[in-house]
Structure 1
């Protein structure tokens, strides 16, 4: 894929962009196979590819420049704003709304935060787009000083971009390298974004995590649901459940499904999406602590941890728990391989690579594990 920003050395985030896309996928497949090569009998399914452009359903844009000429994109080495509003990996709807948001920044008097001088108000503009075309926009501010101005000028923004159905102000007073703070101030009546995923409607709240690539995420959920239905467990845990994507896709009559997630915001989203499904419940908690404290294990566990993996404690518990099957969805095949090595009684039988992030080294791998009968 050709990118003017990359060619001009303005943004080099897509490190693999010069490599033809089929070669990117092949190299990622080979890397994943090498990392899991010790597991005899593991069958790899055909990889899931992404569109090369327009695949990102969210944009985390650093606010820079001046009030009269704001930039939305990244910062250069000197802390100056670099405008990336035409970034080709963002969904077309997001690219369309970014110029409107830039004009709104000026109109509402949201002075971009100057990182070197630690002055200004607007730190980030975060945009998430649903598959319906509706959008959630979050303005990350240094303080509440411009919230009243946001409210005053919001009708103009919504008239210019009616696809924005959720808008909030997020407060990040500290000068540190994070994207958002803990306080979220709703600006619109609606506070959630509906995200259809096949037969399941997920409910996204401002601080809840969701996969960046909607098309590939739907394939991931569908693949896991097929594996779960094949082994037909009567009980299932979805650990690190986020907004409940795996739990809700794997739910079935007579199957008790429990999702555990440390983020209270994500759990509220999951509960809203699960209304009317009595066999599905969600709770706030640490995944490892929940497993260690549970009186008995389920028949199947789905884990979808952050890049660090599930770690020694949870791997050890799964190894000795008697759980018959595990589905491990990983965004880091290195920690996946390490965790699988700690669970020798759970044999990887099928795996699939999903290219969630074209033009980067990042990759998603999902593996179905079955307990070796000799270990029971």
Structure 2
């Protein structure tokens, strides 16, 4: 932070281009606002009952207030400013990491382009569930479409636990991205920068329209952003694979509105193990930072389709995976500045199997 934004982007472009090597034609970097771009706040709760802090913990495990963080998009920033008063009014006891006493560990808030919000309370145990008063929450946060409680009983650096109890009638937060409405459940992953996510999906759609693949296999599909943007834009059938069953349910719900554009199926499973019996025309991959790994690289190298789209938040693992698939060449590449004010990045490449006749 403090480095001029244009210099930040230029440095990232140099770093990702160097990592992938020469001979690649890069599109201009895709950028958005350098501040006020995050759609999600992950807040550690500190302080005391009646006087909570929301932000992070310092080196002495005391709460540090970050409610004025300049990275939150305006609607989210407005919500975050109201949260300390809400927590105090609910008389929730913050969890003290040093003494291992208290209940409320984190608040997780997601804000949609249409102004709605999802609010999640992460508690150590069900003991203070009775204090989560929906009436009081809606007085403070009328935008709260989805409210849930997540239980994280373990004392470790893991933000949330496996158990989630939804308290509202609505159990999804609609996220309108381009002309597709994605549905987020409490434990579904979504990119933290809505504007850049929209640009990423739009670029992938442009590539799909140019290729006209009848079938698309969307691996690590999350809530279906890439696959749903492809459906009806060259793709007639999409198969999405994701390890999170909650994300799969979200993708299925979103796909119902696009049924006229084509058919789709969404599977909960290990993307590494999954290639459909008939090789698809295109495989899209958006893996976590560790990349797709040697096994999937081998499967694609040996019998993958003519084209791949690979979106990565870690250019080092992307470069490693591309080196393991020499049958493919990069034909288009772009940097998407998903995380301004950090050294992190998003890179997406279009790959073509060598020797494929150009149309």
**TM score, norm. by length of structure 2:** 0.96
What SS is found at the alignment partner of 2:294? helix
Q: 1:211 aligns with which of 180, 191, 211?
A: 191
- Gaps of at least 5 residues in structure 1 are 1-16
Matching of residue 258 in structure 1 with residue 239 in structure 2: yes
Q: Distance in 2 between matches of 1:364 and 1:374?
A: 27
C-alpha deviation, 1:374, in angstroms: 6.9
Indicate the residue corresponding to 1:270 in structure 2.
Answer: 251
Contact 2:107 2:119 in 1 (8 A): yes
Which shifted more, 361-370 or 251-260? 251-260
Contact 1:254 1:279 in 2 (8 A): no
Q: 2:150 aligns with which of 156, 167, 170?
A: 170
What SS is found at the alignment partner of 2:274? helix
Q: Distance in 1 between matches of 2:82 and 2:71?
A: 19
Indicate the residue corresponding to 2:207 in structure 1.
Answer: 227
Matching of residue 181 in structure 1 with residue 161 in structure 2: yes
Q: Distance in 2 between matches of 1:94 and 1:233?
A: 38
C-alpha deviation, 1:156, in angstroms: 1.8
Q: 1:133 aligns with which of 115, 118, 126?
A: 115
C-alpha deviation, 1:160, in angstroms: 2.4
Contact 1:100 1:157 in 2 (8 A): no
Q: Distance in 1 between matches of 2:317 and 2:17?
A: 14
What do residues 338-366 of structure 1 show as CA deviations (whole Å, max 9, x unaligned)? 00001111110100000000010100000
What do residues 27-62 of structure 1 show as CA deviations (whole Å, max 9, x unaligned)? 000001101114x2x211111112011100000000
> What pairs with 1:1-376 in structure 2 (closer than 5 Å)?
17-38=1-22, 40=23, 42-150=24-132, 153-252=133-232, 255-276=236-257, 277=259, 279-291=263-275, 294-373=276-355
Q: Distance in 1 between matches of 2:116 and 2:304?
A: 44
C-alpha deviation, 1:254, in angstroms: 6.3
**TM score, norm. by length of structure 1:** 0.92
Contact 1:101 1:157 in 2 (8 A): no
Aligned length: 353
Q: Distance in 2 between matches of 1:262 and 1:254?
A: 23
Q: Distance in 2 between matches of 1:50 and 1:60?
A: 21
Aligned in 2, Cα 1:156/1:322: closer, same or farther, shift over 3 Å?
closer
Q: Distance in 2 between matches of 1:25 and 1:52?
A: 10
What SS is found at the alignment partner of 1:48? coil
What SS is found at the alignment partner of 2:342? coil
Q: Distance in 2 between matches of 1:200 and 1:184?
A: 27
Q: Distance in 2 between matches of 1:272 and 1:295?
A: 25
Q: Distance in 2 between matches of 1:274 and 1:213?
A: 22
What SS is found at the alignment partner of 2:256? coil
C-alpha deviation, 1:205, in angstroms: 0.4
Which shifted more, 220-229 or 247-256? 247-256
Which shifted more, 108-117 or 237-246? 108-117
What SS is found at the alignment partner of 1:212? coil
- Gaps of at least 5 residues in structure 2 are none
Aligned in 2, Cα 1:101/1:22: closer, same or farther, shift over 3 Å?
same
Which shifted more, 333-342 or 277-286? 277-286
Contact 1:329 1:366 in 2 (8 A): yes
What SS is found at the alignment partner of 1:173? coil
What SS is found at the alignment partner of 2:247? helix
What SS is found at the alignment partner of 1:132? coil
What SS is found at the alignment partner of 1:43? coil
Which shifted more, 313-322 or 223-232? 313-322
C-alpha deviation, 1:315, in angstroms: 0.7
C-alpha deviation, 1:148, in angstroms: 1.3
> What's the Cα RMSD here?
1.3
